[in-house]
């Protein structure tokens, strides 16, 4: 049995990253480990209890600009946590929105795994995206101001955060990302020996039988980088060829109004449904022929894709970010160039005109996700990385 300390900016079940960390804690505890979670006390929404075992003060007002760089309370309370509950292993997911780089020197001497769930360690906005929605390929620096990614008033604080992170980066024993593309981006920004450690997904029953009419859907935030406009354009190209085809768009966001206007010529063949509770969303997506993930950016992983695969739904996704690892082109769905409505339309047509093909792709996807991305498989991988991290830390201590 090991004593493991998990560290994350947030400790409430309000987002995918937080749910993943809580699932890791529960899974490790079920395997007999002594696990504690250290987070900030920040609450974005009412009704979600703080589930951390220890916490520090965090902020969501303008003061966050300072505390995400220098959170003295995080360092102080983490030091107390280490004194009262010394761990054998430390696992960090997110720490640059609230906890700040000040936690790193406190962790010196411990085996530390940093499993990056966002791009914050190499990009101030955490997404490696410019304001116009294009992918940023240059290192953080003055360009962050000239491209208007961050405000001039916060630039100095942000650059100080990255400088402190790089100063204390040697505290991190092992660095991992959620996907291969994410690892490439980290390495292009100066990180070395980055491993890939993807998210896991809980076992769930398959969705129902395919709907009588060929149906595809998008589920997620309605924002520019998600590429939903490309999906609507692709559907317009196939609407005449497949008169019974239907498109559901599930979610809310800043692009909702322009997307509805773009889809208006297609009438009731495109249905928009707002954000809904998890169980209701699963019911709405049951029986899909195909789910589209047309992202224009390198999403770190792609939980929506593994959820679709677990449901037994074929996936057509942009060849970006985590989707490139998850979708097996021609076997569980198709990968297409980002922003390419014509190719997206072609691949969707292949599925929406062939029920047997849709079913076969969906079943193959379910087989892959259960074998490679199950919660048990993720915990097995994590255990191996923990062991290697501890060996590496011990080797480094011996050398010193």
pLDDT digits (tens, 9 = 90+) for 264-311: 999 999 999 998 888 899 999 999 999 999 999 999 999 999 999 999
pLDDT of residue 334: 98
Answer yes or no: is pLDDT of 120 > 70.
yes
| Percent of the chain with pLDDT strictly greater than 70 | 99
Q: Quote the CA–CA distance of 227 and 300 in Å, as a whole number.
A: 16
How is residue 390 written in tokens? 């501890």
Task: Go through 72-107 and write b for each residue having 16 or more CB atoms within 10 A of its CB, e for each that does not.
Answer: ebbbebbeebbeeeebebbbbbbbbbbbbbbbbebb
Number of helices and strands in the chain (H, E): 15, 13
Q: Quote the CA–CA distance of 35 and 23 in Å, as a whole number.
A: 12
pLDDT of residue 398: 52
Q: pLDDT, tens digit, for every residue of 234-249?
A: 999 999 999 999 999 9
The residues spanned by each domain of the chain are: 3-200+375-399, 215-372
**Rounded mean pLDDT of 59-75?**
95
pLDDT of residue 89: 98
Reported as a pLDDT band with limits 50, 70 and 90, residue 348 is: very high
Which fold is adopted by the domain 3-200+375-399? Rossmann fold (3.40.50)
**Rounded mean pLDDT of 192-213?**
95
Left if phi > 0, otherwise alpha if psi is -120 to 50, otherwise beta: which for 56?
beta
pLDDT of residue 400: 44
Answer yes or no: is pLDDT of 227 > 50.
yes
Q: Where are the alpha helices (DSSP H) in the chain?
A: 16-30, 64-67, 72-84, 103-106, 143-146, 152-167, 180-188, 228-238, 256-263, 278-285, 303-311, 323-326, 341-352, 355-372, 375-399
Q: Cβ contacts of residue 313 below 8 Å, gap of 6+?
A: 207, 285, 288, 289, 290, 291, 362, 365
What mean pLDDT value characterizes the chain? 95
**Rounded mean pLDDT of 4-29?**
95
Q: Quote the CA–CA distance of 38 and 76 in Å, as a whole number.
A: 12
Rg of the chain taking only CA atoms, in angstroms: 22
Q: pLDDT, tens digit, for every residue of 316-340?
A: 999 999 999 999 999 999 999 999 9
**Consecutive H or E run containing 249:** strand 246-250
The closest of 127, 103, 348, 94 to 232, measured between CA atoms, is 348
CA angle at residue 19 from 6 to 4, to 5 degrees? Answer: 15
Q: Quote the CA–CA distance of 351 and 149 in Å, as a whole number.
A: 39
Q: Quote the CA–CA distance of 39 and 244 in Å, as a whole number.
A: 49
Cα-Cα-Cα-Cα torsion 53, 59, 65, 70, nearest 10 degrees, comes to: -40
Homologous superfamily of 215-372 in CATH?
Answer: Glycogen Phosphorylase B; (3.40.50.2000)
How is residue 351 written in tokens? 């599925």
Reported as a pLDDT band with limits 50, 70 and 90, residue 397 is: low
**Rounded mean pLDDT of 204-218?**
96
**Rounded mean pLDDT of 346-367?**
98
pLDDT of residue 134: 85
Q: Is 295 helix (H, G, I), strand (E, B) or coil?
A: coil
pTM: predicted TM-score of the whole model, two decimal places:
0.93
User: With DSSP H G I counted as helix, E B as strand and the rest as coil, what are the percentages for the chain, rounded to 5?
Assistant: 45, 15, 40
pLDDT of residue 154: 87
Reported as a pLDDT band with limits 50, 70 and 90, residue 349 is: very high
């Amino acid at each position: 049995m090991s004593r493991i300390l998990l560290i994350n900016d947030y400790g409430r079940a309000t987002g995918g990253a937080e749910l993943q960390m809580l699932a890791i804690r529960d899974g490790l505890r079920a395997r007999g480990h002594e696990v504690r979670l250290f987070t900030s006390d920040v609450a974005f929404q009412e009704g979600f209890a703080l589930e951390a075992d220890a916490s520090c003060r965090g902020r969501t007002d303008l003061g966050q600009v300072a505390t995400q760089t220098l959170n003295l309370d995080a360092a102080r309370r983490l030091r107390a946590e280490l004194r009262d509950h010394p761990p054998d292993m430390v696992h960090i997911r997110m720490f640059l929105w609230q906890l700040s780089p000040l936690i790193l020197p406190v962790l010196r001497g411990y085996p530390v795994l940093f499993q990056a769930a966002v791009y914050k360690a190499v990009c101030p906005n955490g997404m490696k995206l410019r304001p116009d929605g294009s992918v940023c390929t240059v290192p953080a620096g003055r360009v962050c101001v000239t491209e208007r990614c961050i405000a001039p008033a916060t630039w100095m604080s942000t650059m100080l955060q990255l400088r402190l992170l790089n100063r204390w980066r040697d505290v991190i024993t092992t660095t991992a990302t959620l996907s291969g593309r994410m690892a490439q981006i980290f390495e292009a920004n100066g990180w070395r020996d980055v491993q890939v450690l993807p998210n896991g997904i809980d076992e769930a029953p398959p969705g129902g039988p395919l709907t009588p009419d060929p149906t595809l859907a998008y589920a997620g935030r309605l924002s520019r980088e998600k590429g939903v406009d490309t999906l609507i354009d692709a559907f317009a190209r196939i609407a005449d060829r497949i008169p019974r085809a239907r498109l559901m768009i599930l979610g809310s966001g800043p692009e909702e109004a322009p997307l509805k206007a773009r889809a208006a010529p297609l009438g009731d063949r495109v249905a928009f449904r707002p954000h809904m509770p998890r169980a209701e969303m699963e019911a709405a997506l049951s029986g899909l022929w195909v789910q589209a993930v047309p992202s224009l950016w390198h999403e770190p992983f792609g939980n929506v894709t593994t959820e679709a695969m677990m449901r037994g739904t074929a996936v057509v996704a942009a060849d970006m970010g985590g989707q490139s690892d998850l979708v097996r082109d021609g076997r569980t769905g198709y990968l297409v160039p980002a922003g390419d409505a014509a190719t997206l339309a072609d691949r969707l047509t292949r599925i929406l005109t062939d029920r047997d093909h849709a079913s076969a792709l969906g079943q193959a996807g379910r087989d892959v996700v259960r074998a490679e991305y199950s919660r048990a498989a993720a915990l097995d991988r994590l255990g191996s990385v923990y062991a290697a991290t501890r060996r590496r830390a011990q080797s480094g201590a011996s050398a010193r």
